[in-house]
Chains A and B, each alone.
Chain A
Amino acid sequence: MTQEIDPYYVQEDDNLAEMAEVLKPALAFKEGDIERLSPEAKNLFSGRRHLGIDWLDRYEIVLEVTEAPGGCRCGMKPGQKIVFDMRHKVKPELSDAPLCVHLISPVLSIFYMTFDRAAEGLNPLTCVWRYVECPITGPDHGAGKALAKVHIRDSATHEPVTARVPPGSDFSSTPEGIK
């Protein structure tokens, strides 16, 4: 069934022409592969359209440990951080916390949201889900869990990015405006 797609989003016949030459080598796409992408996958790439072609390089996500009472055996300490690029890769050279898979796991959902929000022209970091915790609970009902908070920062200056609609976004130019 064909469904109408809101004009803000990538349409069925829109093959991301302005970024195709970047995407093809980056994703080892052959001729016709962009056309094979679903509209939803094309929306993933449309963050470049709505936030600027360089948005993936412009920001970093930082997980900062806020509490580590000691129940966790991974050696987390308050103030330590794990830094990610916007392609959800760990940047070990900027991280000083143990790269614990258990504490990192909840962050993946936040990255899903970054792509969704970029496709809407919004600050990539969710305004809701900024707190994460170790998923391992233990008999102390989680009292020993490592806790952390996530923020987004400019990758060049390391200044937090707090604007709902960041510079370079086309969000305010949409006909409907904020709904």
Chain B
Amino acid sequence: MSLPNEMTPEDCRLVATVTRAFHCANKIREGETFVFDHRGILLAGESSANLCIGMICKLQPVLMMAQDRLAEGLYPIGGYAHFDCFDTGIDHGGTGKVYVEMSLVDGRTGQTVPRPE
């Protein structure tokens, strides 16, 4: 098991942190977060971004993958860690765009858990 400090899946917080945002109608801004538990339940009280499902739904596959990786004893976030929302942006027929990066946080401490070497 590669989770450090005796973390259990229940301790995992899968956090999507906004790395860039522009022309977002839901006013999502860089540095804000969407926080999920290991099952893919959105934790509204721990999230700081407006809870736009145009971004949240894009994360559903990686949250399924996190369950798979945890079941295999792996760090829950694999090679796919960067995602953007479903809006295609002002230069491609849409309006805005939000980008996030996934990370693992220990729910007991609030500390980011780095990917094992």
Partner of B95, one of A27, A98, A111: A27
Smallest distance from the beta carbon of B93 to chain A beta carbons, Å?
4
Q: Which residues of B contact A90 (CB under 8 A)?
A: 42, 44, 51, 53, 56
Residue of B39, B43, B50, B54 touching A108 (CB-CB under 8 A):
B54
Complex-state Cα separation, A33 to B42, whole angstroms: 33
Q: Which of B41, B91, B96 makes the CB contact (< 8 A) with A99?
A: B41
Give min CB distance, A38 to chain B, whole Å.
4
- Determine whether A130 belongs to the interface, using a CB cutoff of 8 Å to chain B: no
A172 to B26, CA, bound (A): 31
Q: Which residues of A contact B57 (CB under 8 A)?
A: 101, 104-105, 107-108
Asked whether, in the complex, the Cβ of A33 is within 8 Å of the Cβ of B23, the reply is yes
In the complex, A1 has a CB within 8 A of chain B: no
Answer whether A101 and B52 are a contact pair too, CB < 8 Å, given A27-B23, A41-B95, A44-B95. no
**Residues 18-37 of chain B: 1 if any A CB is under 8 Å from the residue's CB, otherwise 0?**
00001111110000000010
Contact A38 B93 (CB under 8 A): yes
Chain A residue with the shortest CB-CB distance to B61: A105
> Does any Cβ of B come within 8 Å of A36's Cβ?
yes
Residue from the list A44, A73, A92 in contact with B39, Cβ < 8 A: A73
Interface check B112, CB cutoff 8 A: no
- The answer to whether A28 touches B23, judged by C-beta atoms less than 8 angstroms apart, is yes
Q: Is A88 interfacial (CB 8 A cutoff)? A: yes
Complex CA–CA separation, A36 to B63 (angstroms): 35
B90: A residues at CB distance < 8 A: 33, 36-37, 41
A92-B51, A99-B44 known, 19 other contacts, Cβ within 8 Å? A27-B23, A28-B22, A33-B23, A41-B90, A41-B94, A41-B95, A44-B95, A73-B39, A74-B40, A99-B41, A99-B42, A100-B40, A102-B64, A104-B57, A105-B57, A108-B53, A108-B54, A108-B86, A111-B53
Chain A residues close to B by CB (< 8 Å): 26-29, 33, 36-38, 40-41, 44, 73-74, 84, 87-90, 92, 98-102, 104-105, 107-108, 111, 135-136
